Amino acid sequence: MPKVRGSGVIEKDKRYRNTWKITFYLGEKDDKGRYKRAPKRTIRGTKGDAREALAKYIEEYELGNSPSGQTIAQYAKRFHELREGDPALSTLSYEREALDIRKVCELFGDVPIGKLTPGMIREGEAQARKSETYSESTLHKMHLPPAL
């Protein structure tokens, strides 16, 4: 795993108030000679919140807890656990998210995150439509970002 290079990057997302994009450079260069970046994450809150999130993101990467080695089910369940008790999230939204995560896990749970492709998503949804396992509305909700 490449080392982290520098202290990270925090960029203001000009489209939304109090929204930041965080990332950091990896000690590995691409074929054009530029340092690779970790995937960007969106943070909502103050710039101080973005600094804290960036520090946690770098620590997560350095400890090897990067989601790239996890399955979709492991990542989704961990994501949901971390959101428990979030004051910005209503109880109803949290429960609804649990239902959506369960459905995502049923469709793609055993797939490693790094191996999931758009084609696999389309195929899984097509099979769910054929077997009438999920409604169109349910499949649409799985694509929506988590509620705040």
Whole-number Å distance between alpha carbons of 48 and 11: 12
At residue 71, the pLDDT reads: 87
As a whole number, mean pLDDT of residues 107-116 equals: 85
Query: Which amino acid is residue 140, in one-letter code?
Result: H
**DSSP conformation class of 38:** P
Confidence at 142, pLDDT banded by 50, 70, 90: confident
Q: Hey, how many other C-beta atoms are within 10 angstroms of the C-beta on 91?
A: 7
Pairing of strands 35-37, 41-44: unpaired
Token pair, residue 25, equals: 């450079």
Confidence at 83, pLDDT banded by 50, 70, 90: confident
At residue 104, the pLDDT reads: 87
Which three-class secondary structure state does DSSP give residue 9? strand
At residue 148, the pLDDT reads: 57
Q: What pLDDT, in 10s, does the model give residues 4-28?
A: 888 899 999 999 899 999 999 988 8
